Each structure stands twice: as C-alpha cells, then as structure tokens.
Structure 1
C-alpha cells in the first residue's frame, strides 16, 4: 500500500471500504458482489443498474469506492462522473468488456481499469490501490497545510532546515527532529510506533500524535536504528518493539498487530524482516 496514515485496525474490528457496484447487467453485479464480499476490508453498501440510479445512490450512501461499468443505457459511466459534485466522487474502478475505453477512463482519474471477465488477481490489485489512496486522503489536509507553509519559506532557509534534519543521527541521542508546520519537534525514537509515506513526505506516528517530515523512506531509514526499526513495506517502517503479534495473510504476507491496536501489512518483498520479529 503504498499511502500515508493507514486506517487503524483493531483485533476484532477492521475499517471497511464503503463500496458501490454500478453495472446494467445483474449477473455482472452479482459476480462482483460475491467476489468482493470475500474480502474482510470491503463493505458493499449498494448497487445500481444505470447512471441515474448510481447518481442518487452516491448522494445517499456516500461510498468511498465505486466499481463502474462504462457502457450503460442513458447515462454512461463517464457522464455519471461528470455529473457528480467533486466532493462526492468516490474512488473509481472502471469495469468493462472494451479495452479501448482505458485512456478515457484514466483521464477521468480512475484508479484502475478492469476488463470483463475480471481476473481475481487484478481485482485484488484494484482494492489494494483503493486502500492506499484512501489512506493518503486521511492526511491530505494535514500535509497540504504543511506544504503551503514550506512554500512560503525562502529557498536557502528551506534548504538549511532540510539539510540539518537530514544530517541528524537519532541513534546518538535517541531522538528524531521533525519539522511539523512552523514547529521543530524532538520526538523520542522509542515513542514512534510506525512511519508511512505520502509522496515526498513521511507520516510519523508517535504515541497519540502524527507528525509530518519531508524526505524519502531511504533517507529516514538511514536516520533510524536498524536494530529497532525495520522496513516492512515499500511505504512503511515499523518500530519492532511495538509489534505485539504477527499473523499470516495472503501470498506470503503478514499482518503486524501493534501495541496500540493498529495493524500493518508486512509485504512478501520484506519477508526477510520476519527474523527480526521472532
């Protein structure tokens, strides 16, 4: 998943993605409903058989994710998106039998484009993309304010601040300096639970606070003690001391349960980090 601020997941509770299925073919809707229903992180809140029904369903149900057929009688999938007020537009995965719509689909900011009959692996990829996008949206307002502030700084001043932070070694003092808005904050490294990425910015979750730091995962890894912190996903670093439980997931992946109740994914690309948790 690549995205910042993963939704909190509890041992007995998982944050689900509110999902709407829009297709004029009842069998196609039923097929997607059954396959998506097997996923713990999907909640199907409604279905629609045409663009007009979908318009009213989106207004009433406010889905976060929509699987949308392109060709429908009356209002097609593209027209539906153009009719919706911008704040109501859900993340959209187009599902169609025609590949020549792909370019137009991505022009409408679709997160994916699935061809019928839909492959299960591709369906999983679409849901994972949605999860990443939704995670990033949760901190959008926070780091947009930060970006606006940084943009007002003179270039030389901004470079000095970023250079100072990049050169810091928290292994010496056990603290990490974070520039959050107009503040410079010293955070105890042991207080950090996990870190995730949003573009060129890192979200640092320390106890009950979330701080934003400009940089890359590689730069941040160099600033952290490798005996205490490990990369478990291309966009996630975890404090190993905060992991309380590990359970297997799909295709060699694992879920890591933290002491806060949050759950992070350890992707199969980083399975070598399991030895650090045993």
Structure 2
C-alpha cells in the first residue's frame, strides 16, 4: 500500500521488542513511531501519536495488554489496530474477543508477519475509503441540508444531489387565479389551520398545503422551521434576540418579529452564527 502504517511496538522484554523491530525493518510500508517497554508508556503514546497499528505483548507487569486496551477506550483515545504478540497461545480466543486484527506467537516468523501486515494494509485501505466516503456524505449533507441516510437513499435511486431539485417558484391558486411566487421572495410562512400563509414581498398568499409538504419543497439551507407552525427564510433574518424569560425572537429585514420555539432554538442559533 502507498500509505505507511504508523506503528508502535509494546513489549516489556527488550530482546523480544528488538527482535520484532528488526523484522519490521524489512517492510518499507511500516513506519516505526516508537518502542514502549510498558503499557503505561504505550497508553501515553497512543493518546499523543494516534498510531495506525500496535504490536502488543499480553503479559506485562503493572498493566497487561488487555487492560491497556480497556484504558485506551476509557480515555477516549482513537483505537489503533492491534496485533497481539505473545509466547503463549492460550490467550488467542480472548485476543479476538477484544477485536484484535491478528495474534502472533513469539518468536515471530517472517512469512507470518508478512501475511499479517498484508491484512492490516487492506484493512487500513478500507478504513480510509470509508472515511473519505463519510467525509463526502457530510459535505453533501452540509451543502444540501439533508441527512446522510437520505443522501444515500437518493444516490441509490439514481437521483441527483444538490439544491437544483428545489423549485424557483411555487404556484398558489387563489380565487380562481394561479399566482407564481418566487421562492427567493418568501420572507416567512406560518400555519393558519389547514392553510399556509405565504408572506412574500409585502403580500400574503394563502396556500392549501400542509407545513410538512411545503417544507419538503424548500431548500433547508435557506428555509428553516423555527416553530411547529412557522418557517423563515434565513436570508431575511436581520438579528436574533434573546429575552429575559429565555425566549428567542428573530427580527426580519421588514421589521417583523417571530418567536423561535425552544426545540428549534439551538439549530437556528447555529445556522445564524455559521451561515
């Protein structure tokens, strides 16, 4: 693999540690970050260096290999791939129970080590692909306002991803006439029973739709629910005000003041602070 495997070797026996380090020098993909003579030292370096891989002895004084992994998890450190290296095979089942990627017996055989590193390389490549996939999904989610699961469903069905799917106008039928209202001109929307009141360009239009149906047609990067029965165009927001009673209100450019319910407060604050 082109990417190096950032590696720690942990063993309280200096000869065993040295022997493994010498063998690892035959593999150019391995970048040896450090050697550790104790689990305590390894814990500190795992937190600081965040290695990809740790070759870990099981039986060590003070803290054994299994205890080290529990402590890594308890500290919230990124868990590296683990290959247990030990002179005893009775720990094999337990090693795989804690999801070690491999289990090597001392003295480590060169071919067996090569097989293990090949498996590790493939695992890291898969992790990197998954990480890139997740980053792309998160970027798309930020750009479109949709959650990752929804994006995956739309990709699977062959739909295009992006704001282009949102209409530029909305057709409103009133008194036998159909009015095309530009989406950009909408300032806010509020519910009135079974109807929606669309406030746009100093005019109010009555739309016979549900709030949920209308919300699905509006780009969530621009239009956000601020109350169970109200949606606002964030481009029209001039400021967010807090009251002494803990309530929040949005003030629009036209001077209209709208209450933000508690359940939507944090999201609205985040969108306004980080547009």
Q: Return the TM-score normalized by structure 2.
A: 0.49
**Which structure is higher in RCO with an 8 Å CA cutoff and minimum separation 6?**
1
Q: Return the TM-score normalized by structure 1.
A: 0.48
Q: Radius of gyration: which is bigger?
A: 2
